[in-house]
């Protein structure tokens, strides 16, 4: 009998322990070495870049040494023409005094043009990668090496304020799509040699650069290693935005709760680094990721630290209360109106009855209908052209709401409840939390329509149990609230004055109990 | 990739289970659900006994205003009275369903009104029903009327067409003014099982005496006395207040005292409490009551011949407070006389007091308490103070009385 | 065993366990208005019981109740005792589940069948146990704070209404002397104080082992104070006569809260608070049963065991009693006499004695 049970359990175990199949078997890439003849190199590169009209290959003389030629290869759009002319071509065609030179060609090129040792390649594949990054590559006759010259300019958007994270006080810069600019913005904030930046290439087709950045004196080594492991194990075709990476490295990708924090502002990213978190910057995306993430982070905004602590604490309290209201208000209303009518004061009952007397739908379906209509309006409002937006909001709000009530489709208390729910949702600073709130709200609504306040309590217990069990990179998701920590609660829950904050522990210097020894993806 | 596949497999099973559960939830429906507009909220319950010993239950149910939704109607609200009969109270309510199309909910009930015949027969059924039934609160006030409860419920007072709200407000006021006693069904239940087993409750009647008042209105005054659960007698408003002086429940009100030359002064009571000291010696019971009160002078009426300048002669206040002591003493005496002589009922709950303070001696006299009570020696001591004289310092009329 | 619970979380777990269902009932109705004195006095015996359990634990610091039974008694008797304890914990969880189903049926969901409410409730419990004791204790820290805050709020609300709290209802105090009152309420040893036996399954999971004794004694004292405060509250507001006639005296007290029309009839909120307390109690008992089973059967992955146990609890809770009075009579009558006293008191004492005797014999043999 016990054998039978053991068999069942072990088969379940096997499903669980479907371990990280080693995805990063380094595929041995074919490495072709550079040939001495420029012609062969030229043909090889041309075959690689066939049908690319923006590939430019120019043969330039090697300083003024006769008989030596160089081949300069670059992609036209990625490097600025003026820079190539001024810096590379003119230098290569300049005169040098050869006579008492004891340097060979490689050293000559290196010292005259200031090329890094890491940018001297011995195989064609790496040279092609360098060309694709936008830097011109120089091949020299009779030399089996190629030289990459770092002339990369960052094109792209200007630095401006991100539209989704608006603050009234505080810095307003935002990240752009260029990796170097983003790294610069962070380096400007933290002038510390412990600020490490490690580069990875992710994506088989796109070969996107991904940089992780952390403060080595503060960040936990286990978490850093875990992040690096997960990045290396990503097996993906293309990476166009940081979200592609986030879904791969997140602990529970199917969970509705976001387990990786995102921001578009460098000051917030710098604050995360200083707390011991790890920032992941993806080339081509202005949104940087921060791991591990805690639930309370999604309720904080950077502005909390740019205004006085008393105002900031009040704002935080308002946000907590708004979160609770936006999740539970429709379900409490439904539970009161259908199950627990005794909780409604007598005078209010008369107005609720007269409002509901005209409505054909039962209360629960009325609220589901109104909340769905609101979500539709919200989604439509994102794409509405700005010229229409103003008129429709007035028309929609006043006329539609009022007309719907008069026509008897919905009742007035329901309109008030939905309006309150919607407004309180917008106090939450982080965009990631908006849709999880909608899911939870509907879940509570269904449960409370089924069993009243008792169902709502069971729903709250279920959701809180789920939240408490999630681990983000080994750190409990509800950290300062659930394993309750007063000293950290000062920073996360209310905002203590600045002079007190400096003395509190860094967030992630946790006791070992909280970070499990085995941090792996199905961590519980 | 495989990781995600395994995730999906587990996820699918969980999703399937959840779908089965939720569909069974939403499709089967739930018996406890009641749409609010389809409920009848009872605001007052009236119980009577008819000649054949069947219980007549009358309910005052709130009615929503009609669909025209004019401003006036939505504010006041209306009510309707339904009457039904049956062998027990719940049976009568069940019979009501023949005529009333909506389920009823008692949670907003403001009062229970009991007709005279039912009170004399014994109100245990209603007390048990109101405490056992989940919907009804243990804080519902119980009132008795001299006639039938139905008339009270059907009456429409001018200020508010729903008489239950009028009664509720009247009860709220009398809680501190104490011209009628206010008890809840929980107090009744406790008193029925207590050592003295006497309870009192207020009396509500329609004001038929005042002929000039064209619109009928309700009057709450006096109290009815119950032994266990049967009505045994009545007390008027003054006796009720005397009883509440002794119990220490008077918190507001007015008191009329007479000055040396028989002129009346009205005092406004601010505070009062009482302390009771019992003693049992050789089966003889002595109870000493100390009443403390504070009041302000509210009205000096008629001519005052003497010099009543309070601010120059504060001694006048001491004299007046002695008069106040006398007045309170008289009221309390009224109540004691009514209790000991007329009703022979321990309305002051001294039985419980003796049980708490002297349990062993009480055990020996417990059985004869009803017979012993009329001979109990109750001493009343009053110490009262007059604190302020209002805005005026001396009376408006001058000393010669002009 | 892997350490998962911090000492503060352990304290909260120990305090909330008896409180979960003991606060629903009038625990020593024969003692009438002196019940609070009995509660406080029997806490001493509760402390004694805890000392026995902790002494047993200190002999085998890595073992739970189920695993050290075989070591003391030998494999055969030990495993039988272990299985008995697992069945005992499941039965305790079933009783509490039935209590709460009845409570919700009586007060809020009268026409819905207990099966439907039971299904929703058992799903939350199964999910909680699936996530493990670590997460349960994380959550209980938060919920304990909320429960205490709302209780203090309710004290204030009740006392702010004039005339409702009549402290003189507590008199006469000890009119017959303390011994007679203590004799009448001996059942208090088993329920609530004996229920802390379930923590013998959780001692090895606590991180700071050396502080367990202090914390256990502290929590029993806190528990006693909380329960006697509850008792004083409902006796002084309801009066002894009425309090013995109701099924749930503390809830009746909360029904008396009536500040203005707005704040009256709020008893459903307190019922939900009790439900949360009961949820944790059932979780702890059922987790102890699941842990015991996984230890006896030497399983690695214990999470999926919660599903069959949950279903067993749901079905048996509907079967154990025909109606509510029968449930109460078995619970406060037969079960205490014939089940709780042996399992909670007699067997641990015998186990301790057997351990000492074994040690003596072994030492003798060595010499």
Q: Per-residue DSSP letters for B161-219?
A: S-HHHHHHHHHHHHHHH-SS--EEHHHHHHHHHSSS-EEEEEEEEE--S-TT--S--EE
Tell whether the model's pLDDT for residue C358 goes beyond 50: yes
Long-range contacts of A454-460 (CB under 8 A, 24+ apart): A454/C104, A454/C108, A454/C109, A454/C117, A454/C272, A454/C275, A455/A335, A455/C120, A456/A328, A456/A331, A456/A332, A456/A335, A457/C272, A457/C275, A457/C276, A458/C120, A458/C121, A458/C123, A458/C124, A459/A331, A460/A328
Of A2-6, A312-316, B362-366, which one has max mean pLDDT?
Answer: A312-316
Mean pLDDT of A61-90: 79
Mean pLDDT of B1-17: 68
Tell whether the model's pLDDT for residue B354 goes beyond 70: yes
More confident residue, A254 or A500: A254
Mean pLDDT of B159-187: 86
Which of C109, C123, C258 lies at the smallest CB-CB distance from B32? C109
What number of other Cβ atoms are within 10 A of residue C308's Cβ?
13
What number of other Cβ atoms are within 10 A of residue C111's Cβ?
10
CA atoms within 13 A on the CB side of A232: 13
What's the whole-number average pLDDT of chain C? Answer: 87
Tell whether the model's pLDDT for residue A18 goes beyond 50: no
- Measure in Å the smallest separation between the Cα of A118 and chain C Cα atoms: 48
Position C168 scores a pLDDT of 82
B246-303 pLDDT tens trace: 988 888 888 888 877 777 888 899 888 899 888 888 878 888 999 999 998 888 876 6
- Asked if A341 lies within 8 A of B37 by C-beta distance, the reply is no
Position B74 scores a pLDDT of 43
Helix, strand and coil percent figures for chain A, each rounded to 5 = 50, 10, 40
Residue to test with chain A: of C100, C139, C149, C302, most A Cβ within 10 A: C139
Tell me how long chain A is. Answer: 524
Mean pLDDT of B135-157: 87
Please say whether the beta carbons of B130 and B136 come within 8 A. yes
Mean pLDDT of C277-301: 90
Q: Write down the CATH number for the domain with range C7-366.
A: 1.10.4160.10
With tokens 């009270």, the residue in question is: B152
Mean pLDDT of C6-23: 89
DSSP string over A187-206: HHH---TTEEEEEEEE-TTT
Tell whether the model's pLDDT for residue A524 goes beyond 50: no
Long-range contacts of A49-54 (CB under 8 A, 24+ apart): A49/A128
- Give the whole-number percent of chain A exceeding pLDDT 70: 81
Report how far apart, in Å, the C-alpha atoms of A276 and of each of A477, B8, C158 are.
Answer: 16, 33, 48
More confident residue, A193 or A391: A193
- Which chain B residue shows the shortest CA-CA distance from C256? B139
Domain B245-402 classification at class level = alpha beta
Give yes or no for C207 touching A (CB within 8 A).
yes
Q: Domain locations in chain C?
A: 7-366
Tell whether the model's pLDDT for residue A97 goes beyond 70: no
Backbone angles phi, psi at A209, to 5 degrees: -80, 130
- Asked if C171 lies within 8 A of B357 by C-beta distance, the reply is yes
Structure tokens at C111: 């026409």
Position A9 scores a pLDDT of 53
Tell whether the model's pLDDT for residue A43 goes beyond 90: no
Tell whether the model's pLDDT for residue B28 goes beyond 70: no
Residue to test with chain A: of C120, C122, C258, C259, most A Cβ within 10 A: C120
Name chain A's partners: 3 or more CB pairs within 8 A.
Answer: B, C
Position A491 scores a pLDDT of 64
Burial annotation B145-170 (CB, 10 A radius, 16+ → b, else e): beebbbbbbbbebeebebbbbbbbeb
Backbone angles phi, psi at A431, to 5 degrees: -70, -25
Tell whether the model's pLDDT for residue C23 goes beyond 80: yes
C56-107 pLDDT tens trace: 888 888 888 888 888 888 888 888 999 999 999 999 999 999 999 999 988 8
Position A289 scores a pLDDT of 92
Report how far apart, in Å, the C-alpha atoms of C336 and of each of B336, C302, C345 are.
Answer: 51, 31, 11
Strand order of the β-sheet with A69-75 is A55-61, A69-75, A137-140, A146-148, A120-121
> Which residues in chain A have their CB less than 8 angstroms from residue B9's CB?
15
Residue A308 pLDDT level (bands cut at 50, 70, 90): confident
Residue A213 pLDDT level (bands cut at 50, 70, 90): very high
- Asked if A339 lies within 8 A of C108 by C-beta distance, the reply is yes
- Asked if B32 lies within 8 A of C112 by C-beta distance, the reply is yes
What's the whole-number average pLDDT of chain B? Answer: 82
Which of B2, B11, B36 lies at the smallest CB-CB distance from A353? B36
Q: Which of A:237-266 have CB within 8 Å of B?
A: 253-254
Tell whether the model's pLDDT for residue A519 goes beyond 50: no
Mean pLDDT of B85-103: 88
What's the whole-number average pLDDT of chain A? Answer: 79
- Asked if C256 lies within 8 A of B31 by C-beta distance, the reply is no
Q: Three-state SS for A259?
A: coil
Structure tokens at B382: 């009053």
Position A16 scores a pLDDT of 44
Position A510 scores a pLDDT of 46
> Which residues in chain C have their CB less than 8 angstroms from residue A452's CB?
108-109
Backbone angles phi, psi at A28, to 5 degrees: -65, 115
More confident residue, B15 or B78: B78
Please say whether the beta carbons of B92 and B55 come within 8 A. yes
Tell me how long chain C is. Answer: 367
Position A521 scores a pLDDT of 44
Position A499 scores a pLDDT of 67
Mean pLDDT of C237-250: 86
More confident residue, C65 or C219: C219
- Which chain A residue shows the shortest CA-CA distance from C113? A451
Q: Three-state SS for B240?
A: helix
Tell whether the model's pLDDT for residue A7 goes beyond 70: no
- Asked if A468 lies within 8 A of C104 by C-beta distance, the reply is no
Give yes or no for C211 touching B (CB within 8 A).
no
Position A154 scores a pLDDT of 62
Q: Domain locations in chain B?
A: 245-402
- Asked if A349 lies within 8 A of B41 by C-beta distance, the reply is yes
Name chain C's partners: 3 or more CB pairs within 8 A.
Answer: A, B
CA atoms within 13 A on the CB side of B227: 9
Position A102 scores a pLDDT of 64
Give yes or no for B105 touching A (CB within 8 A).
yes
Whether cis (ω within 30° of 0) applies to the bond prior to A223 is no
- Asked if C264 lies within 8 A of B359 by C-beta distance, the reply is no
Give yes or no for C180 touching B (CB within 8 A).
no
Which of A340, A343, A468 lies at the smallest CB-CB distance from C138? A468
Helix, strand and coil percent figures for chain C, each rounded to 5 = 80, 0, 20
Q: Which of C:254-293 have CB within 8 Å of B?
A: 255-256, 258, 264-265
Which of C132, C272, C304 lies at the smallest CB-CB distance from A457? C272
- Asked if A353 lies within 8 A of B35 by C-beta distance, the reply is no
Q: B222: burial class by Cβ within 10 Å (0-12, 13-18, 19+)?
A: buried
Give yes or no for B4 touching A (CB within 8 A).
yes
More confident residue, A373 or B69: A373
- Which chain C residue shows the shortest CA-CA distance from A343? C265
A249-299 pLDDT tens trace: 887 777 888 889 999 999 889 988 888 889 999 988 899 999 888 888 888
Question: What pairing do the DSSP bridges indicate for beta strands B230-235 and B253-258?
Answer: unpaired
């Amino acid at each position: 009998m016990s054998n039978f049970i053991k068999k069942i359990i072990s088969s379940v175990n096997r499903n669980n322990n479907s371990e990280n199949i080693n995805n990063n078997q380094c595929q041995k890439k074919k490495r072709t070495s550079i040939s001495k003849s420029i012609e062969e190199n030229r043909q090889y590169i041309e075959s690689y870049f066939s049908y690319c009209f923006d590939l430019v290959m120019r043969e330039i003389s090697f300083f003024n040494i006769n008989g030596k030629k160089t081949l300069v290869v670059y992609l036209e759009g990625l490097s600025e023409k003026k820079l190539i002319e001024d810096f590379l071509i003119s230098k290569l065609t300049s005169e040098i005094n050869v006579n008492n030179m004891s340097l060979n060609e490689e050293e000559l090129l290196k010292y005259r043009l200031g090329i890094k040792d890491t940018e001297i390649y011995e195989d064609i594949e790496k040279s092609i990668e360098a060309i694709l990054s936008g830097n011109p590559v120089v091949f020299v006759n009779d030399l089996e090496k190629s030289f990459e010259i770092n002339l990369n300019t960052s094109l792209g958007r200007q630095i401006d304020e991100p539209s989704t994270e608006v603050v009234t006080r505080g810095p307003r810069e935002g990240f752009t799509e260029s990796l170097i600019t983003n790294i610069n913005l962070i380096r400007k904030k933290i002038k510390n040699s412990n600020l490490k930046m490690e580069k990875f290439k992710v994506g088989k087709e796109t070969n996107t650069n991904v940089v992780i950045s952390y403060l080595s004196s503060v960040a936990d080594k286990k978490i850093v290693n875990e992040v690096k492991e997960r990045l290396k194990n990503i097996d993906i075709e293309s990476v166009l935005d940081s979200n592609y990476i986030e879904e791969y490295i997140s602990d529970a990708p199917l969970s509705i709760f976001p387990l990786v924090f995102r921001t578009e502002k460098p000051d917030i990213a710098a604050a995360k680094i200083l707390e011991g978190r790890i920032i992941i910057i993806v080339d081509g995306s202005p949104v940087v990721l921060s791991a591990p993430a805690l639930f309370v982070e999604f309720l904080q905004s950077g502005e909390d630290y740019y205004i006085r602590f008393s105002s900031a604490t009040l704002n935080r309290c308002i946000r907590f209360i708004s979160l609770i209201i936006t999740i539970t208000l429709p379900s409490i209303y439904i539970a009161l109106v259908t199950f627990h009518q005794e909780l409604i004061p007598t005078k209010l009952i008369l107005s609720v009855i007269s409002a509901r007397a005209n409505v054909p739908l039962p209360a629960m379906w009325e609220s589901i209908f109104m909340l769905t209509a609101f979500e539709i309006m919200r989604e439509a409002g994102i794409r509405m052209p700005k010229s229409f937006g103003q008129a429709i909001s007035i028309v929609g709000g006043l006329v539609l709401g009022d007309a719907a009530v008069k026509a008897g489709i919905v009742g007035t208390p329901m309109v008030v409840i939905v309006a309150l729910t919607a407004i309180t949702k917008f106090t939450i600073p982080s965009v990631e939390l908006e849709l999880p709130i909608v899911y939870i709200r509907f879940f509570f609504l269904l449960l409370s329509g089924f069993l009243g306040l008792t169902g709502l309590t069971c729903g709250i217990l279920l959701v809180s149990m789920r939240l408490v069990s999630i681990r983000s990179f080994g750190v409990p998701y509800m950290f300062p609230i659930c394993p309750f920590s007063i000293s950290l609660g000062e920073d996360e829950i209310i905002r203590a004055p600045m002079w007190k904050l400096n003395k509190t522990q860094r967030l992630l210097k946790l006791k070992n109990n909280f970070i499990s020894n085995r941090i792996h993806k199905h961590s519980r | 990739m495989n990781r995600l596949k395994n995730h999906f497999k587990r996820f699918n099973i969980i999703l399937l289970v959840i779908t089965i559960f939720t569909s069974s939830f939403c499709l089967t429906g739930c018996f406890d659900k009641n749409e609010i507009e389809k409920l009848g909220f009872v605001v007052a319950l009236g119980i009577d006994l008819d000649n054949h010993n069947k219980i007549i239950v009358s309910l005052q149910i709130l009615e929503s205003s009609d669909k025209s939704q004019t401003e006036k109607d939505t504010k006041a609200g209306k009510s309707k009275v339904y009457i039904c009969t049956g062998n027990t109270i719940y049976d009568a309510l069940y019979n009501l369903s023949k005529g009333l199309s909506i389920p009823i909910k008692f949670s907003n009930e403001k009062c229970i009104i009991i007709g005279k015949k039912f009170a004399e027969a014994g109100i245990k059924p209603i007390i048990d029903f109101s405490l056992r039934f989940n919907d009804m609160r243990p804080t519902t006030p119980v009132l008795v009327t001299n006639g039938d409860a139905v008339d009270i419920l059907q009456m429409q007072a001018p200020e508010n067409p729903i008489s239950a709200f009028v009664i509720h407000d009247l009860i709220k006021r009398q809680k501190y003014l104490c011209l009628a006693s206010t008890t809840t069904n929980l107090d009744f239940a406790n008193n029925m099982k207590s050592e003295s087993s006497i309870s009192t409750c207020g009396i509500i009647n329609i004001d038929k005496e005042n002929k000039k008042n064209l619109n009928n209105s309700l009057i709450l005054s006096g109290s009815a006395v119950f032994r266990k659960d049967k009505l045994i007698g009545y007390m008027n408003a003054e006796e009720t207040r005397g009883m509440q002086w002794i119990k220490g429940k008077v918190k507001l009100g007015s008191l009329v005292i007479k000055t040396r030359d028989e002129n009346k002064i009205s005092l406004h009571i601010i505070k009062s409490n009482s302390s009771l000291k019992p003693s049992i010696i050789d089966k003889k019971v002595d109870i000493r009551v100390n009443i403390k009160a504070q009041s302000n002078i509210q009205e000096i009426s008629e001519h005052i011949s003497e010099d009543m300048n309070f601010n120059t002669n504060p001694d006048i206040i001491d004299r007046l407070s002695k008069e106040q002591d006398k007045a309170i003493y008289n009221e309390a005496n009224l109540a004691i006389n009514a209790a000991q002589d007329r009703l022979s009922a321990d309305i002051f709950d001294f039985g419980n007091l003796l049980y708490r303070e002297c349990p062993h001696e009480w055990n020996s006299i417990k059985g004869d308490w009803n017979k012993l009570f009329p001979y109990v020696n109750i001493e009343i001591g009053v110490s009262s103070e007059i604190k302020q004289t209002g805005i005026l310092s001396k009376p408006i009329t001058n000393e010669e009385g002009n | 065993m892997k350490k998962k619970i911090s000492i503060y979380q352990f304290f909260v777990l120990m305090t909330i366990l008896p409180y979960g269902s003991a606060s629903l009932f009038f625990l020593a109705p024969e003692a009438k208005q002196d019940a609070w004195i009995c509660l406080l006095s029997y806490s001493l015996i509760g402390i004694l019981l805890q000392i026995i359990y902790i002494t047993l634990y200190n002999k085998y610091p890595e073992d739970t109740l189920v695993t050290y039974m075989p070591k003391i008694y030998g494999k055969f008797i030990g495993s039988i005792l272990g299985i008995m304890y697992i069945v005992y914990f499941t039965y305790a969880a079933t009783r509490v589940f039935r209590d709460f189903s009845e409570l919700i049926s009586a007060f809020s969901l009268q026409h819905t069948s207990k099966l439907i409410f039971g299904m929703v409730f058992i799903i939350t419990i199964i999910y909680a146990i699936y996530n493990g004791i670590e997460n349960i204790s994380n959550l209980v820290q938060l919920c304990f704070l909320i429960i205490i805050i709302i209780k203090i709020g309710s004290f204030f609300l009740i006392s702010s209404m004039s005339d409702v709290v009549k402290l003189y209802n507590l008199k006469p105090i000890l009119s017959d002397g303390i011994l007679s009152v203590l004799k009448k309420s001996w059942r208090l040893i088993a329920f609530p104080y004996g229920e802390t036996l379930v923590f013998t399954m959780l001692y090895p999971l606590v991180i700071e082992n050396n502080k367990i004794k202090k914390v256990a004694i502290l929590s029993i004292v806190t528990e006693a104070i909380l329960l006697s405060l509850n008792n004083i509250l409902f006796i002084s507001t309801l009066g002894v006569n009425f309090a013995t006639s109701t099924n749930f005296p503390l809830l009746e007290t909360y029904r008396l809260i009536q500040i203005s029309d707005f704040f009256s009839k709020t008893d459903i909120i307190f019922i939900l608070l009790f439900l949360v307390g009961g949820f944790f109690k059932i979780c702890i008992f059922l987790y102890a049963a699941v842990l015991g089973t996984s230890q006896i059967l030497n399983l690695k992955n214990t999470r999926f065991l919660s599903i069959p146990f949950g279903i067993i609890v749901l079905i048996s809770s509907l079967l154990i009693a025909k109606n509510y009075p029968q449930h109460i009579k078995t619970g406060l009558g037969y079960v205490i006499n014939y089940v709780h006293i042996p399992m909670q008191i007699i067997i641990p004492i015998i186990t301790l004695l057997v351990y000492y005797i074994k040690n003596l014999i072994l030492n003798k043999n060595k010499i």
